[in-house]
Amino acid sequence: MAIKKHIPNFITLLNLVSGCIAIVFVFDGNLSMASYLIFLAALFDFFDGMAARLLKVKTDIGKELDSLADIISFGLVPGFIMMKLIQQSIGIAEVNDGIAFVLPYVALLIPVFSALRLAIFNTDNRQTYNFIGLATPANAILIASLPLIIEQKTTLLGLEPVWFANLISNLYVLVVLTIILSLLLVAEIPLFSLKISKSHPVQNRIKYIFAGISIILISLFYFVAFPIIMLIYILLSVTMKSEIYNHTP
């Protein structure tokens, strides 16, 4: 029993280590590897919760440790990635030195609002099953996809996503996106979680549909699919609000 209760925490620490290593890659200028490590951290974040439920060893320490790991992997790392992207875009855009100095620091809104989001989540009884506002892992995954989209050459259909890469390389698009995503973290917008419930088939059906659409889009468009999936996720949550929240445990 003593060993079993530490398994979820160990997985959470793997999430934290992934985030710490990702920071090293960001400062080395390897944004792609940092992005892959965010994906890995998200995988550990998913499995630590699953392990805690299966082993029935949920603890207050585990909850707090999870938040501390998340603020690094899903707050600080995506913030640094966005800062680097903004710095790179400044080299392309024609802006004066004052604006060029200030704009990269806009990216720090991401870790700030991520921390606020996690604090709200830990104290909000409405979010025990679904979410109010965008979850930090989802936000981090979207930001992590940006450097990979910029480097992506083609899709399964043979399309070259150059126009999309150029769009997300634009300085002002990145700044506006940073502000929007930061606000979404704390917005009073109901969003469904991906937890499967044995007693709520309506919610499960929506989640299965979303998962199926996501798999198809990723298979066809690779990393370009992630912003599309995020938009579908938000629209689906809002349009299916009554079906989701009228069946919440």
Q: Which CATH number characterizes residue 105's domain?
A: 1.20.120.1760
Residue 217 inside a domain? The answer is no
Percent of the chain with pLDDT over 90: 64
The tally of domains found in the chain comes to 1
Least confident of 37-51, 84-98, 105-119, 175-189: 84-98
Residue 249 inside a domain? The answer is no
Using the predicted structure, report yes or no on whether residue 133 has a pLDDT greater than 80: yes
The reported pTM is 0.93
- Which residue segment(s) compose the domain that 10 sits in? 4-193
pLDDT band at 245 (very low <50, low <70, confident <90, very high): low
pLDDT of 151-175, one tens digit each?
999 999 888 889 999 999 999 999 9
Question: Mean pLDDT throughout 116-136?
Answer: 88
pLDDT band at 249 (very low <50, low <70, confident <90, very high): very low
Residue 110 inside a domain? The answer is yes
pLDDT of 101-117, one tens digit each?
899 999 999 999 999 99
Q: What is the pLDDT of residue 30?
A: 97
Residue 218 inside a domain? The answer is no
Using the predicted structure, report yes or no on whether residue 149 has a pLDDT greater than 80: yes
In terms of Cβ atoms closer than 10 Å to its own Cβ (0-12, 13-18, 19+), residue 204 is: middle
Residue pair 242/128 in contact by the 8 Å Cβ criterion: no
Residue pair 244/190 in contact by the 8 Å Cβ criterion: yes
Question: Helices 77-90 and 136-151: crossing angle, nearest 10°?
Answer: 40
Q: Are strands 190-191 and 131-132 parallel, antiparallel or unpaired?
A: antiparallel
Residue 243 inside a domain? The answer is no
Residue 230 inside a domain? The answer is no
- Average pLDDT score, the chain: 90
Q: What is the pLDDT of residue 244?
A: 62
Residue 132 sits at φ, ψ, to 5 deg, of: -115, 105
Residue 191 sits at φ, ψ, to 5 deg, of: -130, 140
User: Within a 10 A sphere around the Cβ of 4, how many other Cβ atoms?
Assistant: 11
pLDDT band at 194 (very low <50, low <70, confident <90, very high): confident
Q: How far apart are the first and last CA of the chain?
A: 29
Residue 239 inside a domain? The answer is no
Residue pair 111/176 in contact by the 8 Å Cβ criterion: no
Residue 232 inside a domain? The answer is no
pLDDT band at 141 (very low <50, low <70, confident <90, very high): very high
Q: In angstroms, rounded to a whole number, what is the distance separating the alpha carbons of residues 58 and 128?
A: 13
E strand or H helix that includes residue 23: helix 7-27
